[in-house]
Chain A
Amino acid sequence: MQTVFQILLTALQIGAIYVLFSLGLTLIFGVMRVVNFAHGQFFTLAALLVAVVDPWLAAQGWSGPFAYFGAVVAGIAAALALGAIVYRFGFRYFQRDLTGSFILSVGLVLLCEGVFLDVFGGSVRVVPPVVRGDVAILGANIAAQRLVLGGVAVASTVLLYWVLAATRFGKAMRAVSIDHEAAMLQGIPCERIAFQGFLIATTLGAVAGALIAPISAVTPVLGADYLVKGFIAVIIGGLGSVPGAIVGSLFIALIESVGGFVFDPSIANMAIFVLVMIVLMVKPNGLLGRG
């Protein structure tokens, strides 16, 4: 029983990052009808900035948590700047153009990876954990840092839900995602909503990157693995569906956790791909996707 609970706890904390990552992906698709493969670069840039700025701030005399918080702010700001540039000079012209946005985003991936490698180098960077020690929950152990990560991910998801459900801006974004022409007729500024939605998605990706930095090996290609899993989660859940992204992410995390425990990580990875193929054959729009 303790083992089962350990596996579930592992799945939840792995899934927390996938949820944040895939929410950004699904938001961009929902609002702009584009598939952004460069989303992983916002994630990576934030993680890299945290890995660089955190030790620098610590060397200036900032205490651990404050140095990390300062680094997170820097990482998110840098990712937002990159997102704004990428939207302004790129995706803005490819809304509702799947082929064009695909080519653009793949090109951006290559460009960003090359620039990150050149600027940050290829070696692994390590961020010291902000919260040390392990926590026992009903006999299962989890690192305190991962618990914090999970908590922030849940809070971010709840906040996003509230924004989408209860605010004027959220309603406008949902209207644009359902039917952008009808939304325009209602006087909703679709262009501005698309830009703001893109920035929110970028922020989610950046937050995920900043959270993963203390528990992961930060390299310029960190986002690649999460991008693949994030896309699978979004496809399983349904492109453009926020609840679908959450369900898909937790599903992927469960497969990874159970598969990695019962077999090994390599087989777990294969199982994820096999499952997405099965889901697409049975439900091409995903579990919670619209037609």
Chain B
Amino acid sequence: MAHPSRSFAAASCLVGLFVMGTLVPTHASAAEIIKLGLSVPLSGAAANWGKGGEWLCKQAAQEIAKSGGVKVDGKVYDFECIAYDNKYNAADGTKVAQTLLTRDNVKFIGGSLGTAPVRALQSLSERDGVLLFTTAWGKAIKGPKFPLTFTQMNTVYEISKPLVGYVKQANPGIKTVALLNPNDATGQDVESASRASWEALGVKVVSSDWYERGTTEFQPIAAKIAALKTDAVDLGAAPPPDAGFVFKELKALGWNGVKVVEVGSGAEGILATGHEAAEGVYMGAAMTFDSPATTAKQKALNDGGKAATGESLNAIQIGFYDSVYALKAAMEKAQSIDPKRVAAALPTVTFESFYGKSAFGGAASYGSAQQILVPVLVTQLKDGKLAELQRIAPEELKSR
């Protein structure tokens, strides 16, 4: 026969649990989670881009959650950003792709950085029906053959012409230019676009050289470029720390021409390594946050991003914010979280991006509307600070 006190204790527990079950509100209406995978460099010269992108993805996800989440088919969804380090190379990009798609079962890639790792990811994402956002600059990365791939920032095909055009106009004496790019898929894409932009303006490309990512010694190549005595040097896809080192070596060797970095994304990174040699650099992917046009929200996000990463936000990272809002708009328009239906809805929606109203377009250039429509900003480092020289809004966006 059971001891009376033990029976009483067991009964009390059962009653207590019953009471808790009825009195404590259940979360029947709690938001479900949609995972957004991120394939980004979190180490090496491009680590700041990846870390900033991850931070912005999480900010956008939090903002959307606070404003009520994504409402689809009577349910509410929140986003969760999961980032892995692709180390800006195909081998690690493949590992990240397998982890995100196979282990984590992610259906949406909120952002991916680096053409080589993105190609590895895309070979799986298109096959598995996963929607992919990318900052990769290759023209061949999107198009009708890749219906689930969308570019979340301006690429070199949007940036190069206005940037190089502005530089040539401001420095009409430029007759020769030397190009230097990282020796990978990103560098190859940038080189072909920037070469075309310079040659279209009658500037002779005297040399086009390559270096391996991870290079720490730039003196030999700087010696070569300095010996050529070109009017300008375009460092294309070189991340800011690499670009700073190259300009520093060029300055030490006595070269003092016009400096351009197409993927130049901010002052801090290039100043940290280039110091005074970085003065006057023209950049195509940077953004200023102290101009009259800066909104309070942009400033607040930049302050947060700077605290988190140590540098101001840039166009590459901002793409990771915009893609989250684009997804929300497309999911709510399609009233579905099926990647293929969301992808079909994306070209038809407008959404509030970091820059203001935005959409996807570019069918005339790429064969299908998979390019985000955001302004191109031409900036320059003056007296250690970034100054916006020109802002070009996409024509296609004006009609949306």
The reply to whether the CB of B211 lies closer than 8 angstroms to some CB of chain A is yes
**A124-B241 in contact given A7-B223, A261-B227, A265-B220 (Cβ < 8 Å):** yes
- As a 0/1 sequence over residues 170 to 181 of chain A, the CB contacts with chain B under 8 angstroms (1 = contact) are 000000000000
Shortest beta-carbon distance, B386 to chain A, in Å?
A: 18
Residues in chain A near residue B216, CB distance under 8 A:
212, 216-217, 222, 225
Which listed residue, B43, B227, B242, touches A117 by the CB 8 Å rule? B43
**A134-B252 in contact given A122-B44, A126-B241, A264-B209 (Cβ < 8 Å):** yes
Which listed residue, B183, B219, B221, B252, touches A14 by the CB 8 Å rule? B219
**A266-B212 in contact given A14-B219, A134-B252 (Cβ < 8 Å):** yes
Shortest beta-carbon distance, B362 to chain A, in Å?
A: 32
Shortest beta-carbon distance, A225 to chain B, in Å?
A: 6
Which listed residue, A124, A222, A261, touches B223 by the CB 8 Å rule? A261
- Report the bound CA distance from A257 to B215 in whole Å: 13
A269 touches B252 (CB 8 A): no
- Report the bound CA distance from A264 to B246 in whole Å: 13
Pick the interface stretch among B45-53, B168-176, B327-335.
B45-53
- Report the bound CA distance from A269 to B211 in whole Å: 9
Residues in chain B near residue A225, CB distance under 8 A:
214-216
Q: Please give me the residue from chain A that is nearest to B210 by CB atom.
A: A266
Q: Please give me the residue from chain A that is nearest to B50 by CB atom.
A: A122
- Report the bound CA distance from A111 to B191 in whole Å: 37
**A6-B223 in contact given A216-B216, A219-B44, A219-B47 (Cβ < 8 Å):** yes
The reply to whether the CB of B253 lies closer than 8 angstroms to some CB of chain A is yes
Which listed residue, A142, A143, A217, A257, touches B273 by the CB 8 Å rule? A217
Residues in chain A near residue B253, CB distance under 8 A:
6, 141
B273 touches A123 (CB 8 A): no
The reply to whether the CB of B217 lies closer than 8 angstroms to some CB of chain A is yes
Residues in chain A near residue B50, CB distance under 8 A:
122
Most chain B CB within 10 A, of A123, A219, A259, is at A123
Most chain B CB within 10 A, of A117, A143, A264, is at A264
Interface size class for chain B?
A: 35 or more
Q: Please give me the residue from chain B that is nearest to A122 by CB atom.
A: B43
A256 touches B252 (CB 8 A): no
The reply to whether the CB of A121 lies closer than 8 angstroms to some CB of chain B is yes
Shortest beta-carbon distance, A169 to chain B, in Å?
A: 34
**A141-B252 in contact given A217-B242, A221-B43 (Cβ < 8 Å):** yes
- Report the bound CA distance from A219 to B272 in whole Å: 14
A261 touches B43 (CB 8 A): no
Residues in chain A near residue B272, CB distance under 8 A:
124, 126
Q: Please give me the residue from chain B that is nearest to A134 by CB atom.
A: B252
- Report the bound CA distance from A262 to B228 in whole Å: 11
A123 touches B221 (CB 8 A): no
B43 touches A266 (CB 8 A): no
The reply to whether the CB of A60 lies closer than 8 angstroms to some CB of chain B is no
- Report the bound CA distance from A282 to B11 in whole Å: 87
Residues in chain B near residue A134, CB distance under 8 A:
252
The reply to whether the CB of A83 lies closer than 8 angstroms to some CB of chain B is no
Shortest beta-carbon distance, A76 to chain B, in Å?
A: 20
Per CB-CB distance, the 7 closest pairs between chain A and chain B, nearest first, are A260-B220, A122-B43, A264-B209, A122-B47, A265-B211, A126-B272, A216-B216
Could you list 6 A-B pairs, sorted by A, with CB under 8 Å? A6-B253, A10-B223, A122-B41, A122-B44, A217-B245, A266-B212
B residues apposed to A, CB below 8 Å:
41-45, 47-48, 50-51, 85, 180, 183, 209-212, 214-221, 223-224, 227, 241-242, 245, 252-254, 269, 272-273, 309-310
Q: Given contacts A261-B223, A265-B218, list 15 more A-B pairs with CB under 8 A.
A: A6-B223, A14-B219, A117-B43, A122-B43, A122-B44, A124-B241, A126-B273, A212-B216, A217-B45, A224-B214, A225-B216, A257-B219, A257-B220, A264-B224, A269-B212
